[in-house]
Amino acid sequence: MSEVTAGIIIFPDLTQLDATGPWEVFASTPGMRVLTIAKTREPIKAKGGLLLLADATLADCPPLDIVCVPGGPGANVAMEDEEILGFLRARAPGLRYLTSVCTGALVLGAAGLLRGRRATTHWSAHDLLAGLGAIPTAGRVVRDGNVFTGGGVTAGIDFALTLVAEIFGSEAAQMVQLGLEYAPEPPFAAGTPATAPANVLAAALTRGVAMRARREELVARSKIF
């Protein structure tokens, strides 16, 4: 099998683990090459301040087998960035796999690439997928044809391992998982709305009110229909 090239789109104010989780899995997989792709080669500051550099720009990006779009607060801007949306639309037909992590799915949806597709995203935005033509589907990883979407943040690791197994087989994926010692044992059962204590969920919803309102606005004025 020839080398498989994955490109991860990066943009200001993204959630870095959405991008670096899959990046670590792909970079740990023999036979895979992984690139970060942005509008420019200027340093990009992720949410929280981590600086990321692009290996290629949207304009000079080489051929790709996989594109992955991460999420985070910056996904709001990306949803209306015609340069990013245009890149995704132009590349999608030639990809083996079109993918996202967390609210990166909203960017795919804004590009019109999730119409009629089952997809998932972060729990706080899951229902918004319907407004972008997708079929909201529960799951850490959801596949519809060659479109793979991962749920919130940490699900990016699950998604990437699932895709590695799809391409190279389950043993290869398990070797990567073992090498990363990916064996989650979280200290709290608060990782989903269904398991989080009511007061914790209420506080999270309150903290996210402004972000939710902004995303509802973006979906409402989406140009995909």
Q: Are 11 and 73 in contact (CB under 8 A)?
A: no
Pairwise CA distance, residues 216 & 68, whole Å: 23
Of the residues 54, 102, 107, 113, only one is catalytic, namely 102
What is the SS3 assignment for 144?
A: strand
In Å, how far from its chain's centre is CA 4? 18
Q: Where are the alpha helices (DSSP H) in 147-197?
A: 155-168, 170-180
The structure tokens 């799809």 sit at 166
CB atoms within 10 A of CB 185: 4
Active-site residue, 68 included: no
Instruction: Name the residues annotated as catalytic.
Output: 102
